[in-house]
A and B are shown apart, each in its own frame.
Chain A
Amino acid sequence: MSTDPLKDISRETFDAWAAHMGLEVDAEHLNKLYPETLALLKRMSSVHQVDVSEVDPMESTETVPREMLGTD
């Protein structure tokens, strides 16, 4: 299991990253974007806690599970 590399992103790092990606770096806007992003990062942590060892990486491109293919 891997861990989330961005879990503890600081505000400074966040601001620099936002600028690097070409987002508007107006402080008022970033004040709103930062907590929203932290909330998403928290969800990322729960993703990284799931053991996916039984999934072949190739299977992650299938939207409908191949085991369920069949028709009425």
Chain B
Amino acid sequence: MQSNLAKIPDLSLAPLAQLISSKKISPVEVTQAYLDRISEVEDQIGAFITLTGEQALKKAKISESEIVKDGARSPLHGIPFATKDIFWTKGVRTTSGSLIDANFVPEKDSFAVDLLQKAGAHSIGKAHTVEYAFDPTGRNEHYSTPHNPWRRGHYTGGSSSGSGAAVAAGMAPLALGSDTGGSVRVPSSFCGITGIKPTFGLISRSGVTPLSWTLDTVGPMAHDAIDLALAMNTLVGYDPSDPASVKTDPQIDYTSRIDAGIKGMIIAVPESFIDQLVDREVKEAFDSALYEFEQLGANVEKVEIPELSWGEMGSIIISTEAATIHRDRIKTSASKFDQRVRLRIETGFFVPASTYIKAQQVRALLGKRLASLYTRYDFIAMPTTVTTAPVLNEPLMSIDGKEVNTRETVIRHTRIFNQNGLPAISIPCGFSSLGLPIGLMLVGKAFNDASVIRAAHSFQLQTDWHKERPSF
């Protein structure tokens, strides 16, 4: 088995998997190449809270023997992945980005990690997360804030901050993230990678430190749509230990119709909502991407979706549920929280039950209105974020002369789609003049995740944005 180790970290998952399964490179070489890249750039980025290189190499050696003897048992066999540090990992500490759980060592793996390992993949480390996944910028006061691989001094986005940075910087070809208001899609957009928030219930959240049981969604992050399809083939599955888990029967193969194209599909663009607040360069890249979709045979239509302005109501659900989940931690260890996160959680104590239920009814109403919209349209398209990655630690930012709250602004487009459980993917669609990535979000019908991935793949066959890599 011979290879050029230096180039491995720049490959995406699918070709890497092919090289491993055809025995042209070994899982040990692959894992070592990623560990070398981590050694090279981690000081500049800070993507990981805990590295598990030794364990990863041991598992890679086992995979190597298995593949030599019996062939690869799945496309993920021998593939290293980064695990957001809210996913429980047996015998490896899971901090959830907090001091309170700094020494928590789970006795079992989360369901998603277990599925990846059964497919032959192995975790290379626990990636940075915002404390208890409760912030979309990536800021973490306890373990430092990761830097954007494309431009140090800028956020990666969060809360799956390390996952986004690790994939973008070539420290792992695949990462697990979770998304409650945009936490897979925002870092995917800011870091120039591809990430999906699948339909609610498709991937189990068992063994993932919760933030909001109504909105939390597990999703994979990688370089491109094919990579996500391969990951979804492994990660989607019924788990009775997650009350939201759904059975999909028969099991969907997310790669099977990935080349079918999107000719004749109708894309809805809520342009007036987008135009209320968007960076000029982001909008230009988004408009160019829509043109590409039209070239692929899709029809793009402008629509009005007034309900998109209901996004901030999701914060009532998150705060109330987070207050319930973290009640004991707040009462016993309040001073150990990042004080910003603590305040967000504590506001949830003041939400009356009647208001929480009303917010849930509004969420259901939103679902009905979107269901009506989707009788005509196949996708909604928007810029994933209204801006490129903001400067670290700046609570306010300027968008075309308008001063706005950074934290609220980065999830302006994403959070509404957690409230209805719809599948939403973020794909790279350009770069700003500062060299920061720009993302486009496609939102599909419930359980039409394969169509969402197919549309993203069609776009990526026409464009090269997802092939760009940051330099170090």
Residues of chain A having any CB pair with chain B under 8 Å: 2, 4-6, 9, 14, 17-18, 21-24, 32-33, 36-37, 39-41, 43-44, 46-48, 50, 52, 54-55, 57, 59-65, 67-72
- Would you give the 0/1 interface string for B174-203, flagging 1 where the beta carbon is closer than 8 Å to chain A? 000000000000000000000000011100
- Would you give the 0/1 interface string for B293-316, flagging 1 where the beta carbon is closer than 8 Å to chain A? 000000000000000001011011
Cα distance, A67 to B446, chains bound together (Å): 9
| A33-B346, A40-B315, A70-B445 given; A64·B199 CB < 8 A | yes
| A40-B347, A59-B364 given; A68·B445 CB < 8 A | yes
| 27 A-B residue pairings within 8 Å (CB atoms) | A5-B352, A6-B350, A14-B350, A18-B349, A23-B331, A32-B339, A33-B343, A40-B350, A41-B350, A44-B316, A46-B312, A48-B355, A50-B362, A50-B365, A54-B365, A54-B368, A55-B361, A55-B365, A60-B357, A63-B201, A63-B421, A64-B201, A65-B364, A67-B367, A70-B447, A72-B447, A72-B450
| A48-B355, A55-B361 given; A63·B448 CB < 8 A | no
| A5-B352, A40-B315, A48-B355 given; A70·B364 CB < 8 A | no
Chain B: minimal CB distance from A31 (Å): 11
Contact between chains at B252 and A72 (CB < 8 Å): yes
B residues within 8 A CB of A64?
Answer: 199-201, 367, 420-422, 446-447
- Would you give the 0/1 interface string for B340-384, flagging 1 where the beta carbon is closer than 8 Å to chain A? 000110111111101101111111110110111010000000000
Cα distance, A60 to B353, chains bound together (Å): 13
B residues within 8 A CB of A36?
Answer: 343-344, 346-347
B248 CB–A CB distance under 8 Å = yes
- Would you give the 0/1 interface string for B237-268, flagging 1 where the beta carbon is closer than 8 Å to chain A? 00000001000100010000100000000000
B residues within 8 A CB of A22?
Answer: 331
A residues within 8 A CB of B350?
Answer: 6, 9, 14, 17, 37, 40-41
B residues within 8 A CB of A40?
Answer: 315-316, 319, 347-348, 350-351
Which of A2, A17, A18, A46 is in CB contact (< 8 Å) with B313?
Answer: A46
Chain B: number of interface residues, binned into ranges = 35 or more
B409 CB–A CB distance under 8 Å = no
Which of B312, B347, B354, B363 is in CB contact (< 8 Å) with A33?
Answer: B347
- Would you give the 0/1 interface string for B420-464, flagging 1 where the beta carbon is closer than 8 Å to chain A? 111000000000000000000000011111110000000000000
| A21-B349, A24-B334, A60-B363 given; A67·B368 CB < 8 A | yes
B214 CB–A CB distance under 8 Å = yes
Which of A33, A47, A65 is in CB contact (< 8 Å) with B316?
Answer: A47
B residues within 8 A CB of A43?
Answer: 312-313, 315-316
Chain B: minimal CB distance from A22 (Å): 5
Query: Which of A39, A41, A63 has the most C-beta atoms of chain B within 10 angstroms of its own C-beta?
Result: A63
A57-B357, A64-B420 given; name 7 further pairs at CB < 8 Å.
Answer: A2-B354, A46-B313, A47-B359, A48-B358, A63-B215, A65-B420, A69-B446
Cα distance, A62 to B419, chains bound together (Å): 10
Cα distance, A6 to B355, chains bound together (Å): 10
B residues within 8 A CB of A18?
Answer: 349
Which 5 A-B residue pairs are closest in the complex by CB-CB distance?
Answer: A65-B367, A67-B371, A60-B360, A64-B421, A68-B446
Query: Which of A17, A54, A68 has the most C-beta atoms of chain B within 10 angstroms of its own C-beta?
Result: A68
Cα distance, A54 to B344, chains bound together (Å): 31
| A22-B331, A37-B347 given; A65·B370 CB < 8 A | yes
Q: Which residue of B lies closest to A48 (CB)?
A: B358
Cα distance, A54 to B358, chains bound together (Å): 13
B residues within 8 A CB of A52?
Answer: 358, 361-362, 364-365
Cα distance, A1 to B348, chains bound together (Å): 23
B330 CB–A CB distance under 8 Å = yes
A residues within 8 A CB of B357?
Answer: 57, 60
Q: Which residue of B lies closest to A64 (CB)?
A: B421
B residues within 8 A CB of A9?
Answer: 350
Cα distance, A71 to B339, chains bound together (Å): 43
A residues within 8 A CB of B362?
Answer: 47, 50, 52
A residues within 8 A CB of B445?
Answer: 68, 70
